[in-house]
Structure 1
Amino acid sequence: MRTVPEELRTEYENAGWWRRETLGDVLVRGLAAAPGAEFRVHSEVRPWSGSCAEVERTARRLAAGLRARGVGPGDAIAFQLPNWMEAAATFWASALLGAVVVPIVHFYGRKELTHILGTVRPAVFVTAESFGRMRFEPDVSAEVPIVGVVGADFDRLLATEPMAGTLSADPAGPALIAFTSGTTSAPKGVVHSHQTLSCEARQLAEQNELDRSAQLTATPVGHFIGMIGAFLLPVLHGKPIHLLDVWEPGRALALMRSDGLSVGGGPPYFVTSLLDHPDFGPDCLDHMRYVGLGGSAVPVAVTRRLTDLGLTAFRAYGSTEHPSITASRYTAPEHERLATDGRPMPGVEIRLAEDGEILSRGPDLCLGYTDDALTDRVFDADGWYRTGDIGVLRDDGCLTVTDRKADVIIRGGENVSALEVEELLAELPEVAEAVVVAVPDARLGEAVGAVLRLRPGHVLPSLAVVRERFAEAGIARQKWPERLFEVEDYPRTASGKVRKHLVRERIATSI
């Protein structure tokens, strides 16, 4: 892990961004304030209904059972579960024990799971017997000392009596290892401390302070932001917890109507799939008043579409390594909320390198990676993190992410921003979502390929029509799409982000 410069540590502590408390302390305080808050899992295979106090008791029984087996502060507890009650119990038990939680998205397969367990070598692994295509394969976790399988023997890990209080841990020490979504290669293990995660939770809680309605969480809790959003933010607000274990827009719309639940945003895909569903109606807008978008590229066409529906849309920018770099408040001017990624969050600093790469540092920045060599490459001695993103910083302090360094298409020696082309394609009436990647070209080396997901009832426009619209917009010819592809959907990460390297691979083998 990296060494945080002493002057930054002192600054963060003096400002109250870093506190002498663990995730367990934060959790216990929040649960004590609203023990009767509702906790429901909306699932066809494992529904559950009760209170947060009941889930806390299960978590404390799990903590007591694991403590009796020798698990304590600093030990790693991994879980690969859908959005079920047992996922909350496992996360909360880890926090109570002062352990290091390792969430794993439930649709990761044997290869990713083997890599993660081999990297972390957890003391405990909690998983599901089966869910969708997921199946428990005992040999993958054969080296893990303690394994619990929900649907089989999970209850054997629970002690009869719950553990009282929390175990002491170093607030500056590791609390979570979050594996990145693997958009380019094998997942990377990102290490966060109790202090960085608690700071992030408070940042998000303050960002969403206006909307206190009951939220429906459908993003996988195996992704750490999904986990924090489902199992920590509602606790800080004293709000009920509602989970959906399969993202089905029709089911989400039905729950909005029947239970008065809200969908507060996330990656654009989750929002646009609601708007494009045939069951969507004007009455649903009451449950989507404030829509915060982030986690992947946010086209202006999407924020304007939401605004035209009377909703308040705003954008945020961050990553697994640095979760909340910039954001716009819901009260910000419209041009800032819709067309930029906002201003630096409290305590966060940003600057641009000579090539436009965004560098950031702040109190919610991770401690580094499980791979020391990668940590040395990505962080410098002054605490700056190389994001790998390209951006433009306006005079008023607003940042706009314009591309990933890896997403620049080099067409005949000219650099083409994939994000810029995606923004233009998203404005076409036929297009629900656009992904632009480099496709091999014998003459130019790389050409611009557009992979489109269409709105219901529309057909793929011809290349001539697309180029005509780009010409009307005054876009340089080298940026015009040269290949068009249609897909029903893209391969995605747990957070809904398109896995572009897989799109590239599929395109490369189809031409």
Structure 2
Amino acid sequence: MDIVAHAAQKFGDQPAIITADRRWSFGELDGDTARIAAAFEACGARRGDIVALVAPNSAAILLALMALMRMGAVAAPVNHRFPASHIEGVIARLKPTMTLDAAKLETFITDALNRTEASFTSATEMSRPVSIIHTSASSGKPKAAMHSLSNHWHSAMGSAQNLPFGPGDCWLLSLPLYHVGGYSMLFKCLIGGGALAMPSPDASLADSLTPFPVTHLSLVPTQLYRMLRTDGGQERLRSLKALLLGGSAVSAPLLREAIREQVPLYLTYGSTEMSTQVTTSPAPVTEAQADSGVVLPYRKVAISPDGEILVKGECLFMGYLEENGIRTARDSEGWFHTGDMGELSEDARLNVLGRKDSMFISGGENIHPEEIEKALTSIEGIEEAVVVPAPDAEYGMRPVAWIKARSDALDDAAIIASLRDKLGRLKTPVALHRIQTWQTLPGSAKIDRGWYRNHV
């Protein structure tokens, strides 16, 4: 299926991409991406070849990704915020036919759009690979996850059945295109007919919302926290049709605040390997709930005997690209083991407890750091928390916490007393460390838990 051509036939003059300087209709998108696809072919890129794009979000990279999809090449958007040595390692493992950084990409797209002919060979097989998205590397080096057109198509179709996105709607591209949540927006746009708004890469989230008629927004909890404290932020969020919130655990105070401000909030759980969303709230949340919504169409979820979340279905990726080819990473029954621990209710609602590799045993009891972190951030004045195990002669391991707290937060003794009442003595941290900024993974906003485990 050539979904760009199909979208042009279906949605015609409806806006598809909106920037500060220009609007592309679906018809114009069809013509421009055809010219770019022809330019890639003229430079030697062929079906199945990998093309690496090391650049921030822009109209140029968005057009390039769609063009590569149409001609059958495999797009590999790479995190440009990685250290140079990290990027070199990623490129060396990918072995791409072409690599374009931000400057080269802009020149390539400008030249391509000046072409008069747009002859290219369209690839239509649903099973063909179209993207390589790297995992966030929360442990070890990032893995190169390869997805087919079918994976992304079914992901967008299942999402749309739960959260419609059609003509007249506008989704702000607030996530990077090298992230599966950002890349998935292409398919939400092309399948549903809503427009994507491309903000300036230097603009704040609040400033990015102002120039565009945004109806849908995807955020991580930190972004939501900041928006609720920005002048006019509450009113702007309240005016949306939907705010999709995921990427990490949401604290109960933040959830209650968003509900109190009448933000149309949809909680979601997903992964790179499942082409983004796995579960999502079926309607805007109205109370501080523990679950991440219901299992979406084209996905299946199960819980293993030891409590690990297992997933499969049409959205499950092709596998990890490794030196010797594609490793499917599925067990004998086709399940992918996520590394997350969770509980699944009878009505298919998923409660994510935390990472399997974060869990530790203290005095014979399984301890999930995320449970303690949620309890910490439920205390007034504590904005964020990270809990890791520390060696203990008597119990084997005991929890230690780092917290980011406001000046009006309780003192350490009061925090410890509150946690002991909520969680019991064994789950209460033996030490609290107050910090202003977090140690994060290279090129990522994710907290580097390994650093804290090594500094207890």
Partner of 1:115: 89
1:251-262 superposed matches below 5 A: 251-262=204-215
Partner of 1:203: 158
CA distance in 2, matches of 1:96, 1:123: 17
Distance 1:67 1:267, change over 3 A: same
SS at match of 1:181: coil
1:35-54 superposed matches below 5 A: 35-37=13-15, 39-41=17-19, 48-52=21-25, 53-54=27-28
Identical aligned pairs, as a percentage?
Answer: 24
1:307 to 247, 255, 259: 259
CA distance in 2, matches of 1:161, 1:446: 67
Partner of 1:10: none
1:230-241 superposed matches below 5 A: 231-241=186-196
CA distance in 1, matches of 2:357, 2:170: 38
Partner of 2:435: 486
Alignment gaps of 5+ in structure 1: 1-20, 43-47, 130-147
What one-letter code is carried by the residue in structure 1 that aligns with 2:143? K
How far has the Cα of 1:179 moved from its partner?
Answer: 0.9
Q: CA RMSD in A?
A: 3.0
CA distance in 1, matches of 2:216, 2:441: 20
SS at match of 2:159: helix
2:7 to 30, 33, 55: 30
CA distance in 1, matches of 2:171, 2:111: 32
What one-letter code is carried by the residue in structure 2 that aligns with 1:214? C
Partner of 1:394: 345
Contact 2:403–2:432 (Cα < 8 Å) also in 1: no
Distance 1:38 1:291, change over 3 A: closer
1:453-468 superposed matches below 5 A: 453-454=404-405, 458=407, 461-468=410-417
- The C-alpha deviation readout for 1:200-255, integer Å capped at 9, x for no partner, is 122223332168642322211121321222x332233333321234475xx43244
What one-letter code is carried by the residue in structure 2 that aligns with 1:294? G
SS at match of 1:339: coil
Contact 1:74–1:100 (Cα < 8 Å) also in 2: yes
CA distance in 1, matches of 2:98, 2:325: 26
What one-letter code is carried by the residue in structure 1 that aligns with 2:163? N
Distance 1:388 1:374, change over 3 A: farther
How far has the Cα of 1:330 moved from its partner?
Answer: 1.1
- The C-alpha deviation readout for 1:364-407, integer Å capped at 9, x for no partner, is 00111113899769411221111111111223332201011111
What one-letter code is carried by the residue in structure 2 that aligns with 1:319? S
Q: How many residues align?
A: 451
CA distance in 2, matches of 1:377, 1:97: 24
* Alignment pair present for 1:226 and 2:157: no
CA distance in 2, matches of 1:247, 1:410: 44
1:92-131 superposed matches below 5 A: 92-129=66-103
Partner of 1:498: 447
CA distance in 2, matches of 1:503, 1:70: 46
Partner of 1:86: 60
Structure of higher RCO (CA pairs closer than 8 Å, 6+ residues apart): 1
Of residues 372-381 and 262-271 in structure 1, the stretch that sits farther from structure 2 once superposed is 372-381
1:67-466 superposed matches below 5 A: 67-129=41-103, 148-150=104-106, 155-156=110-111, 160-164=115-119, 167-209=122-164, 213-229=169-185, 231-246=186-201, 251-262=204-215, 264-277=217-230, 279-322=231-274, 323-330=276-283, 334=286, 338-371=289-322, 378-439=329-390, 446-454=397-405, 458=407, 461-466=410-415
TM-score, structure 2 length as denominator? 0.88
Contact 1:430–1:459 (Cα < 8 Å) also in 2: yes
What one-letter code is carried by the residue in structure 2 that aligns with 1:198? W
Alignment gaps of 5+ in structure 2: none
Contact 2:16–2:193 (Cα < 8 Å) also in 1: no
Of residues 479-488 and 375-384 in structure 1, the stretch that sits farther from structure 2 once superposed is 375-384
Distance 1:491 1:210, change over 3 A: same
Distance 1:497 1:200, change over 3 A: farther
CA distance in 2, matches of 1:420, 1:110: 36
Distance 1:430 1:213, change over 3 A: farther
